[in-house]
Amino acid sequence: MNMTTVNSTFTQECEIEQDLRPGEMSVNKSFIENESPPPYITFRKGSSVLPAISDLQQEFKTLQSSLLNRLDSWFSKQETKFNTLPNDFDEIKTTLKFISDKYDDLD
């Protein structure tokens, strides 16, 4: 018994391509026009959005906007802190230099 994959299922290999059942795929190009799509495929004609989904989408957009604004504000504050840090170090360096100079004067 020879097993082959036909439309994602294992079936016995057909000796004649015309033995294909609906939904099975042929490897012979001459039989392709006789093939039909598997029965589980459905085609949608237009889509309707439920009001509840639309409301949920709007809530998510509002949440996203709020989170982005908060993050933007937080990063702004962090940038300000980071930019003032070198100035604080400059003041510390100046103070240490002053103390060091005074110490050298004592010697």
pLDDT of residue 1: 47
Instruction: Quote the pLDDT of residue 8.
Output: 46
Distance of CA 77 to the CA centre of its chain: 28
- Residue 12 near residue 24, CB atoms below 8 Å: no
Domain locations in the chain?
Answer: 3-34, 67-107
First-to-last alpha carbon distance for the chain, in angstroms, is: 103
What pLDDT shows up at residue 96?
92
Question: What pTM was computed for the model?
Answer: 0.38
**Regions of the chain where pLDDT drops below 50:** 1-15
Written as six digits, the tokens of 104 are 């050298």
pLDDT given for residue 78 in this prediction: 95
Amino acid 91: pLDDT: 87
